[in-house]
Amino acid sequence: MNNLFRHTYLKINLDNLIHNINEIKNYISKDVTIGTVLKADAYGHGAKEIAKALFENDITYFLVSTLLEGLELKKSNENYNVFIMGHTPDEYLEEIVKNDLISTIFTVDQGIILNDLAKKYKKTIKVHIKIDTGFNRLGMKVNDNTIKNIKEINQLPNIEMEGIFSHLALKNKEFDTIQFNKLKKLINSLKEEEIYFKYNHICDSISTVLYPDFQMDMVRVGAIIYGLESEEKGVLDIKQVMSFHSKFSYIREIKKGESISYGMRWTAKRDSIIGTLPFGYADGYPRNMYQKGYISINKKQAPIVGVICMDQCMVDLTDIENFNKNDEVTIFSDGSNNSISIDDLANLASTNKNDIVSRFTKRVPRIYIKNNEVYNIKNELV
Ligand SMILES: *Cc1c(COP(=O)(O)O)cnc(C)c1O
C-alpha cells in the first residue's frame, strides 16, 4: 500500500458506492441494465478503482465520454464493456476497433469507416445510435431520412447495432416527455422494419428516479452512484461517496488590524487565531469560496479567511474551542457533524455538484474505504 505523503486527501467510501448501486437495483425493473457513468475519472473518484469495485459487484457496463477514458478502462480490464458516449474523430476510430470499445455513432459516414476498420481486424464492433430528440448537442435528428440512415448502418456486416439512445434536457416533465416520446416513436418505427436493439436508453440519474416509465433497457447513472443527487434522496436512500480532509500545517495568533493573504483582503477585527491548511484551488477546491467557505473541525465550523491561494488557505479558529493542532479537519463531507455538504459547497460556489467533484487534480491522494477499513491509497504522482 502506498503512503499518503500528504495531509490533504479525498476519502472515497466504496461501501457507500455499493450501497447506492443496491438502492438503484431495488428501484429499477429487473430487466433494466445499470450502465454506470465513469467519465471524468469517475467524477473525480478514480475511474479504475470505481470500475474495479463495481465489477466485483456484478456491474459490467461502463460509460465514458472520450476515447482516452475508454482506453484507460479497457487497459485495466479487457472484460469490461466500455461504451464511449461522446464523438470519436474519424482518425481515431481504429483505436475503438483495436480495443473492442463500444462506440456512439450518428452518421452513416462514421458507420462505414468503422465497418471498414472492423473488417480489416476481422471483428464485429458494437455501436449505439445517438438520436437528437431536442438537446441539440450530438445525434441524428429525427426526420424523413433517419430510418433510411439507420437501415444503412444496420446493413454494414461488421457493425452490430447494440443500442439506440438519446439524452434529456431535464427542462420540465412536459419537454422531457416530448423527447422520450420522440425516441420511443422512432424505436417503434424501426421495429416495423425489423430493426431491434438490445439497449434502448434515455435516462440519466435524475430521470431514472423521476420517470420510472422512461427506463427502457438501460439507465446511464453517474451522479447518483456517487451519492450526489439531493432531489432523489427522498426516493432512494443514497449516500455520498466522497469527502475531503486535511490537517493544519501551521497555527498562529495575529493581532487586531493585521491582514491575510493576497491583497490583504481580510483584516482581523479582533486578536485572532489563524490556522493554515495545505490545500488550495490547484487541488480542485473552488477559489471563489473565499469569504464564503468554511471547514469543519470537531463538529464546529471555522470560516475560510483571506483569498484562497493555489496550494494553501487560512481559517479563523478564534471561536473554536478545544482543538488540537493535529486534529483532522473536514473540508467537505455529507453535511454531518456540521460539515459543509457538496450540495451547499456547490451552491456557494455558484456551480453544481458534478463540477465540484470532477475538478480534483491528481495532486490529491485518494484513500479508498472498503468494509469500513482503508483498502487502498492512490497517489498518482509517485
Ligand atoms: C454524463 C452523462 C450521463 C450521466 O449523468 P448523471 O446526471 O451524472 O447521471 C448520462 N448520459 C450522458 C449522455 C451523459 O453525458
> In this predicted structure, what is the pLDDT of residue 298?
87
Q: Is the CB of 132 under 6 A from ligand 1?
A: no
CA 221 / ligand 1 centre spacing (Å): 6
Rounded distance between C-alpha atoms, residue 242 and residue 144, angstroms = 47
Of 213, 241, 210, nearest to 225 (Cα)? 241
Which domains does the chain possess? 31-226 (3.20.20.10), 242-378 (2.40.37.10)
CB 241 near ligand 1, within 6 Å: no
Answer yes or no: 262 catalytic: yes
Would you state the pLDDT for residue 232? 57
Using the predicted structure, report yes or no on whether residue 139 has a pLDDT greater than 90: yes
Q: What is the mean pLDDT of the chain?
A: 96
Question: Which among 306, 297, 316, 199 is positioned nearest to 252, based on CA atoms?
Answer: 316
Q: Report the pLDDT value the prediction gives residue 323, as an integer from 0 to 100.
A: 86
Cα 189 to Cα 186: distance, rounded to the nearest angstrom: 5
Answer yes or no: is pLDDT of 233 > 80: no
Across residues 82-87, what is the average pLDDT? 98
Mean pLDDT for 133-162 is 96
Confidence of residue 346 (pLDDT cuts 50, 70, 90): very high
- What are the tens digits of pLDDT across the range 159-187? 999 999 999 999 999 999 999 999 999 99
The rounded Å distance from CA 201 to ligand 1 centre is 12
What's the pLDDT band for 339 if we cut at 50, 70, 90?
very high
CA-closest residue to ligand 1 atom 4:
222
Active site residue 27: no
Is residue 205 in contact with ligand 1, taking CB distance under 6 Å? Answer: yes
**Pick from 64-73, 100-109, 224-233: least confident:** 224-233
Whether the CB of 353 sits within 6 Å of ligand 1: no
283 confidence band (pLDDT: 50, 70, 90): very high
Ligand 1 within 6 A of CB of 219: no
Ligand 1 proximity of 167 Cβ (cutoff 6 Å):
yes
Beta-sheet strands, E only, within 118-195? 125-132, 140-141, 159-165
pTM above 0.75? yes
CA torsion sign, 206 to 135 to 93 to 39?
Answer: negative
Residue 322 — very low, low, confident or very high, per pLDDT cuts 50/70/90?
confident
Which one of 17, 37, 63 would you pick to mutate in the ligand 1 pocket, going by the greatest count of ligand atoms within 8 A of its CB? 37
Q: Give the number of other CB atoms < 10 A from CB of residue 185.
A: 12
Taking residues 44-69, report their average pLDDT: 98
Q: Give me the pLDDT at residue 3, please.
A: 87
Say which of 92, 196, 250, 262 is annotated catalytic: 262
Instruction: Please state the φ and ψ torsions of residue 304, each to the nearest 5 degrees.
Output: -75, 130
Tell me if 51 sits within 8 A of 82, measured CB to CB. Answer: no
Q: Which of 217-226, 232-241, 268-277 has the lowest mean pLDDT?
A: 232-241
Quote the pLDDT of residue 231.
63
Query: Is 375 in contact with 18 (CB distance < 8 Å)?
Result: no
Q: Of 48, 51, 44, 21, whose CA–CA distance to 33 is shortest?
A: 21
Q: At residue 157, does pLDDT exceed 90?
A: yes
Tell me the average pLDDT across 10-38. Answer: 97
Contact 165, 132 (CB under 8 A): no
Of the listed 9, 39, 130, 294, which one is catalytic? Answer: 39
* pLDDT band at 235; cut points 50, 70, 90: confident
